[in-house]
Each structure stands twice: as C-alpha cells, then as structure tokens.
Structure 1
Amino acid sequence: MADAASRLKGLIEQLLAAPLPIRIRAWDGSEAGPPGAPALVVRNRRALRRLLWKPGELGLARAWVSGDLGIDGDLYTALGLLSGLIWERGEDARTLAQALRDPEFRAAARGLFALAGPLPPPAPPREEVRRARGHLHTRRADRRAISHHYDVGNDFYALVLGPSMVYSCAYWESPDSTLELAQRDKLELVSRKLALKPGERLLDVGCGWGSMAIHAAREHGVRVVGITLSQEQAAYARKRVADEGLTDRVEIRVQDYRDVDDGPYDAISSIGMAEHVGTQQYLRYAQELHSLLKPGGRLLNHQIARRPLRDESAYDIDEFIDAYVFPDGELAPIGTTVTQLERAGFEVRDVESLREHYALTLRRWVANLEAQWVRAKGLTSPGRARVWRLYMAASALAFERNRIGVNQVLAVRTPESGDAGVPLRARTWN
C-alpha cells in the first residue's frame, strides 16, 4: 500500500480519539505527522500484528524488544510526547470493552488489521519472562525472578552502572557531579543514617555487587553480611571483597532474607530490594528484619514508591516491567510502606524523598548504555539492550513527572525504655 504512514497515522488517531504527537515512518519509507518531531519507526507489518494481537503495553513492548518498532530522534522527547497516550491516560480512560462499542473505533481496528496482513504475530521475544505455574514470592519464584533481572552478565551491568556498581538511586550534590561521586555519597548517607560504628554488625539485604558492604566495612569498620539471590552478583561481590582485603569483615551469601537466622544485628540496610518482596509478603519482610535487629537497632529501607490510587483494588502491574524487567515486582505508596513497618514493630523516625535524584541517576545510566551501544548488545543481546534502554529512559521521565518516587525510611527497633538513640536534630547526617 502506498503511503502506509498516512494511513497508519489516521487509523491510530481514530483509535485513540486524539492527535498523534509524533511522526510515523512506515516500512515503505513514507512519513506522516508533525514536522520536526521524533519519528516512531514501524519497520514492518509484523509490528502491527504484535500490537493488534496483544493491545496495550505488552504488545508495544514485544514490538520494541524485537526491533519491529523503533524511535528516530531523541528518546526522551518521544517518550514524553507519547506518555499522555500510553502511561498517563489516568483512571478515567475508557476500557477496551467501552471502546469496542464505538463504531469509529471498530472501523479503525478493522483498518489496522487489514493493513497488518492476515498472518498471526511471531512468538514473543526470548527476553520475555516465561511464566511458571505456582504462587508469587515463594523462595523458588523469587530466585527465578531475581535471576532474570540480575544474571544477565556482570560486564553488561559494569558498562551501564560504571565503576561504583551501585544499582540504585545516587545522591547528587548537583546535576554536574559525577555518577561515581553521587553513588559514594549515597552509600555514605545510608551509613550515617544507620550511625555505623566500628565493630558493629550490619546486614545488607539485597547486597547486589557488594558496594554497600564494602563501603561500610572499609569506611566505618563494621562487620557485614551481604545477602543476594543472584549467583552472578555474589561471585562478583566476593571477588571485590577479596580485592579490597576485607574478607575478614565482609561475608557475601546467596540467601533469602527469610532464611537469615544469625541475628541480632546492630543495623540493616535494604537498598532497592523491597520492591521485589511483593504486597502479600511485605509485612513478613518487615517482621523478619525487625526480629534480626537488636533493641535500638536501625533499618534503612530505600524503596521506590508509586502514587496511591482512588481505588487501590484497581492497581495493575506494569505489563512491560513485569514481562521484561522486574518479574513479580510490586510498588506500593510510601504510606503503605510506613504502615507495614510500624505494624511489624518499628518506630519510623525519618522519611526522605530522593525522587529527583533517581531521575538524574537513570539519565546517566542511559547515557552510559548509549555511549557503548554496540558493545552492550554484544554483552547481552540486542533485545535485552533495548529493554534496558527503554525502561531506564521511561523511568527517568516517570520520576521527573512525579508518577513514581523513591524514599529512604529510617526505622528503629525502639527498646522498651523508649530511647531510640536518635539525635534531637536527626538530620545531622546531611
């Protein structure tokens, strides 16, 4: 069909009942849309079949990961223009069932099916999670989910994260600072909030590649147990610990938080791990950590939060994130997290939002990935590199636009005496 882009643009706008804010470039070389805007590149009819057979984020994800869809132009600009149509339509957006009652919608859908051709779409990209039967957040399910995200190659993560090997929000003095300095400052911020002292025991839950454990042992003289479910992370962290000469003070285990039984600890850090716990397991998570602390011990829980909904029962997991990035991950509002920590027996002493800091961090990770794009694809796969680029860029925009946030919660297992050991002016750690 000649000028497929114009035909495609018209049908999409008819479906969405809204103008398309970016250009369309179709497989026949034709283009249509606002001059100068980034282009959504529809490389073949297969992209349409993926979208039509699986409407919504999952179809878009499959087309993107497979390379059937692409963006020509600045990715952030394109995602920002599309966000109102894809991610920010709000709770009042009409459902597919409502849309199908609209004759114009049905006519546009028929037109797209005709344009896409009669063949069904191919199988999902191999980077998509293959779901197994069973309950969420069993030990086996969590190991499998963590392996999907983290066991994709330490060299790939080193390329994205840089020398710090910290895979969580950095703490920026200014946007012009370096990623390495901002990550060091975040680890130091956590250490100060925990008031770490030489000889104390720290449990680092979800220790990643060992950065917090090494920082706490080297800079504050504590003895650290770091736990992760990722075999690749553990191997990498153990080598780093040995290279730093800290094997007498740092132990890295492949262990589930539910299986730690060698408390009490003076402090616990949980940085970017609680998002994997799941709503149904969260109270147990908080209770387990509470039981592992000595009276007066501190927990620093660093966790991404979503905004609350008018109807919390309507919350849906992000299909793209669940299928390609963080399987079985769940976000909760910060109020829910604080409530669960308090239900477990903690006294919450401080909550600090670092939302803007995560946006800056993600943009640096995307820049690292894009700067070594060819090597990144070789270290993992082209599809997985596309996954990471899209999810990090979209997440940066989500933090910038206040769709999600990230918070550090300092909680104490306050002893019966009531003395939590927190200074009257607590934020002296800044």
Structure 2
Amino acid sequence: MPNPGVAVQVVAAIETVYGLRFPIGMRAWDGSRAGAPEGPVAVLRSPRAVRQLLLRPGRSGLVEAYVTGHLDIDGDFAAGLRHCRELVAHVHAQGPPGPAHWPRLIGLIARTGVGGRRTPVETDRPTVDFPASILDDTLARSCGYWTSDGPEYHLSDAQQDKLDLVCQKLGLTKGMRLLDVGCGWGSLVLHAAEHYGVTATGITVSPTQCDFVRAAAAKRGLSSSVTVQRIAPRDITDGPFDAVASIETGEHVSDKDYPAYCATLHRLLRPGGQLLMQQTSGGGMFTGSYMTPAMATRPVERTLSQLRDAGLEIEDVMSMREHYVRTIDAWRHALDANWDDIITRTGPTRARIWRLQLADNALAFADDKMSVHQILAVRP
C-alpha cells in the first residue's frame, strides 16, 4: 500500500505530536492535500518547510520558513496567519515534543528528503521602512486618522486629516515655531508651514530624508519657513519651541534612554508650549520582537508616567487603535497590488517580511494586542 502524500503525513504528525487539530488546509509540492477543506491553505514549497513545521513550529520557525519561500499561505493571508498564531500559542503552551515522538518526526523528515544544514534568514535587519509604492503621497509611515467610511475616502485623506488633527491639537497659528522630532519624509513640517503659517523645523538621522524634505520645501516655496537638520534631539540648541511633535518616534528609543528623551522634549518646549506624541504600544506575535528588535514599545501608562516625571502635564490621551487597523489594511492592499514590482525592486525575502509584518500588526491592533495613542501634554 503506497504511503500517503506529504501533506497528509505532516498534518497527521502535527496533530498527534502536539495534540491539536491542524487549523487550516495544507498542500505540498507532491500535490497532496490535507487539513481543513475550506479557507486559507498552508503551502509546503519544499522539504525544508517540513523540518520547520515539525521541529520548530513556534514563531521563529514559521517566520523563517515563510520569508525564505519554503512556506506560503494561499487565500486570505491575514486569516491564515491568525490560525498560525493559534497554532504557535498552543505549541508554546505545550512545550517541545517528548522523546517518544522523535522517531516519528525524524523518520518523516528523512522520507521527505530534507538534508543539510538550514540557512537562517537575516530577519534582524530594519524592516519598518516600507516602500513608497504602498504609501500615499504624504509618504507617512504612521497611523492615519479616518474620518469617513465613504468609497471616495482613501489613505491619503486619512493622513491629511491626521496632520490637521495634530496641528489643531497643538493650536498652531501663524508665526509659531514647531519642532517635529523624527520628521521622516516631512509630511508634518510641510503641512504645518503651508496651511498653518508656522516656522517648522524637522530633525532626522537620515541624510536621504534631509535632502528630500529640503527639495520638497523648495518646490512648494516653503524654504524660508521649513528647515530640516540631521541631528539628534539632545543636540538641538535653537530652542525653545512653541510646539513639539513626536509622531511614532518614541518607539525607536530604548527603555534605558526614554526618560532622557522625555526630559529633552520638556527642555525643547517654552513654558506653556505643547507636546503632541503619537506612540504605539504592544507588539505582534511574529514581528513585535522577532523581526524588529530595535523597536521598544511600552504601555501607554508607563509613557504617561515618564512624561510626568520629566515635568510635563498631561492634557489629553486619545486611542487611535482602530484607525491603525484601517491604515495597515490600506498598506497591505497596496503591497499586494504592487507585489511583482516590489519583488523586482527589493527581492522576495524583504517583500515577504513586509507582508508578514503588516498582516501580523493588523491582527494585533484588531485584537487589542497593540494600540496607538495621541498624547497631548504641556510644559507648565
């Protein structure tokens, strides 16, 4: 009697060894199919995926198998990833397989032809700088503010509404001085100077962003009111400012350095000046700490405490969690629409990292495992 196909054997082994029902369908390179008959399907592209699933079914093994192209998810990617999160949670709770299961696992791996040492993917490089082709014309890589459900309302509108929300909370008026810490590609400083008449300064560590913002300011006739510096916040000497913005920049500051960061924001404000901080908390299962270890998200309660310790008074806190679900979904759809071009420009590994990161974070925000808040504070 012939052996059952690879997918049948792998699903049976996972269900037996880990004591669960495999949550989605599975298809292997030999054409075999097993698991759930409907919904997303895990696709085993090569024998190497078998080893990852059987021996390392936790998050690191699944991430490595996916970004290296040995494992795919057909169908609704986010739905398939949600089931994978459930699988990982079960495996972590149960622990590694006992010695009684090793002969079966090793035998199946040998029969599917896996050999040689695995080559780990370099998933510890920065992955948050998404390609411009999935962004709107503001090039903002932060949460938008969605004020409409209408079919003609798009990500670019949500980002413009976010910029207006920040400017209005800060009470920006003509003649005021604004500092944007971590200005990125300049969306806030350009918008605030053009529409609110402020003198805006942006700071960034990226020379490419410096050049881009300066060129954009010149093109809009804003060179006299928009400046950008390649400098760290602690090295700014031309303060104080009437208003300071930190839009999803604090996540890149380590826990050790965060109190000093808050103290610097306080120093850069004039008495009575306001700070608008937009900052995420929590993390995704697959990417929150595994693929972006430089990120240091912290609970909003700790952020508020550290701002108070720095001498700032909290005026308002607003959750934007649901707005981030919609923002990430827009990025995900744009990534899929430009998939072939992005692979050509950046390579399949980085494109897969972006797809996994976006889907994972979308689920985390939807499930309240991640959040984002706008915090308005004042220097008394």
TM-score using structure 2 length = 0.91
CA distance in 2, matches of 1:76, 1:319: 12
Does structure 2 conserve the Cα–Cα contact (< 8 Å) formed by 1:218 and 1:246? yes
In the aligned structure 2, how far is the partner of 1:115 from the partner of 1:357? 48
1:396 aligns to what?
Answer: 362
The letter of the residue matching 1:357 is: H
**1:171 counterpart = 2:145:** yes
Contact 1:306-1:334 at 8 Å conserved across structures: no
- 5 Å-filtered alignment, 1:43-62, equals 43-50=45-52, 56-62=58-64
Distance of 1:35 and 1:11 partners within structure 2: 18
Match of 1:258 among 201, 212, 234: 234
Q: 1:12 aligns with which of 11, 14, 20?
A: 14
Give 1:235 deviation, angstroms: 2.6
Question: Aligned partner of 1:387: which letter?
Answer: I
**Conservation of the 8 A alpha-carbon contact between 1:46 and 1:121:** no
SS across alignment from 2:124? coil
**Distance (whole Å) between structure 2 residues aligned to residue 108 and residue 13 of structure 1:** 12
Q: 1:125 aligns with which of 89, 114, 121?
A: 121
Distance 1:355 1:111 in 2: 46
CA contact (8 A) 2:193 2:222 kept: yes
- Could you say which residue in structure 2 is the equivalent of 1:41? 43
C-alpha displacement of 1:169: 0.6
Instruction: Please show how residues 87-126 of structure 1 align to structure 2 within 5 Å.
Output: 93-94=92-93, 96=95, 99-100=96-97, 102=98, 106=102, 109-111=105-107, 113-115=109-111, 117=113, 119-126=115-122
Instruction: Letter of the 2:303 partner, please give it.
Output: T
CA shift, 1:55, in A, is 5.4
- Structure 1 residues 30-429: aligned runs within 5 Å: 30-50=32-52, 56-86=58-88, 93-94=92-93, 96=95, 99-100=96-97, 102=98, 106=102, 109-111=105-107, 113-115=109-111, 117=113, 119-126=115-122, 128-129=123-124, 149-150=128-129, 157-176=131-150, 177-306=153-282, 320-322=287-289, 324=291, 326-414=292-380
The 3 A distance-change label for structure 1 pair 213 and 116 is farther
Per-residue displacement from partner, 1:91-148 (whole Å, max 9, x unpaired)? xx5363xx44x4555456445543565534442335x336xxxxxxxxxxxxxx5xx6
On the 8 A contact 1:157/1:165 being kept in 2, the answer is no
Distance change >3 Å, CA 121–CA 229, structure 1 → 2:
farther
Given that 2:285 and 2:360 are in contact with CA atoms closer than 8 Å, whether structure 1 keeps it comes out as: no
Distance 1:20 1:389, change over 3 A: same
Kept after mapping to 2: 8 A contact 1:15/1:108 = no
Deviation of 1:220 (Å): 0.8
2:250 alignment partner AA: A
Root-mean-square deviation (CA), in Å?
2.4
Q: TM-score scaled to structure 1, two decimals?
A: 0.81
Percent identity among equivalent residues? 40
Structure 2 portions without partners, runs of 5+: none
Distance 1:104 1:232, change over 3 A: farther
**Contact 1:191–1:216 (CA under 8 A) maintained in structure 2:** yes
What's the offset of the Cα at 1:20?
A: 1.1
From the superposition, tell whether residues 105 and 53 of structure 1 become closer, same or farther in structure 2 (CA, over 3 Å): closer
Corresponding pairs, count: 376
